[in-house]
Structure 1
Amino acid sequence: MRHALALAALIALSACGLSPMYAGGSSATVAQGLAAVDIPAIQGQSGWLVRNALQDRLGAAGKTTPVYRLDVRLDDSLEALGVLNDDTISRERRILRARYQLIELATGKVILDATAGSDAGIDVVSSEYATIAAEQKALENLALKLAEQMATQVSLALRTRAAAAQ
């Protein structure tokens, strides 16, 4: 009975249309496409953090000849949320947004034009050092979240492109 249920589950799973994005490991079409993405320098500290996180996610540290370029424009802002009666700030929100385009270098065609974003709340405390450290850590975390969102969308775009070519 158990074997029959397991067999039925496997048949149902294979019929659902899901397939692994990175099937084939580093020789997979998507993995090779990701490794061929050039990420030009992005302005500012937030740009440096996002670019490094993207390079880690995409595996694009100069391993292959670039086929694509990922252009990224960031908007990093810090706004006061909680203002006390004495006009001191008690809470801040750090917002990091990105507009990015994946461009095929050979043709100049835009393959993906998308946005990503995230925000984090920060408590403002009496220690200026602690507040600055919290703002910095929030920026680092937001850069990682943005890079993850962007890498996922780029992967999906490359997968769709590879499926259309077959």
Structure 2
Amino acid sequence: MRASALLLLALALSACGLQPMYAGGSSGQVGQGLAAVDVPAIEGRAGWLMRNALTDRLGVAGDASPRYRLDVRLDDQLEGLGVLSDDSISRERRILRARYQLVDLANGEILLDRTAGSDAGIDVVSSEYATIAAEERALENLAEEVAGRIVTQVSLALRDRQ
């Protein structure tokens, strides 16, 4: 009875239609598609961080000739949240939003047009240096997180296209 239950479970799982997205690793369809995505320069420090994070994630399959272009526009905001009785700010929030488009270079078709974003809280302390360092570290972390979200969506778009 137990064996038949395991057999039914195995059959049900094989019929669910789930497939690994990165099947074949860097030589698979999605891996090769990601390696063929070119990311042009993005304006500003946040853009530099974002482009580096994206190229680190996209270039895992080696050097392929570009078939796609990923255009990214960033909105980086820093706003004060916690205001003390002396009108000083005790907490900040850094928000990084990205609007991105995946463009097929062969025909100029936009394959993906989306936004991704995240935010982080920052404590404002008495040391201005420590606060600036925390703001910069938050930007670095946000760029990595948003880049991960973008690459996931690009991977899904490329998988569906192929």
User: What range describes the TM-score normalised by the shorter chain of this pair?
Assistant: over 0.9
SS at match of 1:6: helix
**Partner of 2:32 in structure 1?**
32
Structure-to-structure mapping, 1:13-162, within 5 angstroms: 13-59=13-59, 63-162=63-162
Residue 61 of structure 1 deviates from its aligned partner by 8.6
User: Partners of 2:34 and 2:21 in 1: how far apart?
Assistant: 12
Q: 1:43 to 1:72 in 2, by over 3 A?
A: same
**Partner of 2:6 in structure 1?**
6
Contact 1:38 1:60 survives alignment (8 Å): no
Contact 2:72 2:101 survives alignment (8 Å): yes
Q: 1:29 to 1:106 in 2, by over 3 A?
A: same
Deviations 1:31-64 (A, max 9, x none): 1110000000111111111111111111269711
Q: Tell me the percent identity.
A: 72
SS at match of 1:94: strand
TM-score, with normalisation over the residues of structure 2?
0.95
User: Partners of 1:133 and 1:7 in 2: how far apart?
Assistant: 56
User: Partners of 1:112 and 1:80 in 2: how far apart?
Assistant: 33
Which amino acid is 2:54 matched to? L
User: Partners of 1:82 and 1:35 in 2: how far apart?
Assistant: 43
TM-score, with normalisation over the residues of structure 1?
0.93
| More deviation, 46-55/57-66 | 57-66
User: Partners of 2:102 and 2:3 in 1: how far apart?
Assistant: 47
User: Partners of 1:81 and 1:140 in 2: how far apart?
Assistant: 20
Contact 1:55 1:61 survives alignment (8 Å): no
* RMSD over aligned Cα atoms: 1.4
Deviations 1:87-139 (A, max 9, x none): 11100000000000000001000000000000001010101111111111110
Contact 1:36 1:60 survives alignment (8 Å): no
| Structure 2: stretches of 5+ with no match in the other structure | none
SS at match of 1:78: strand
| More deviation, 54-63/89-98 | 54-63
Residue 8 of structure 1 deviates from its aligned partner by 2.2
State the number of aligned residues.
162
Residue 84 of structure 1 deviates from its aligned partner by 1.1
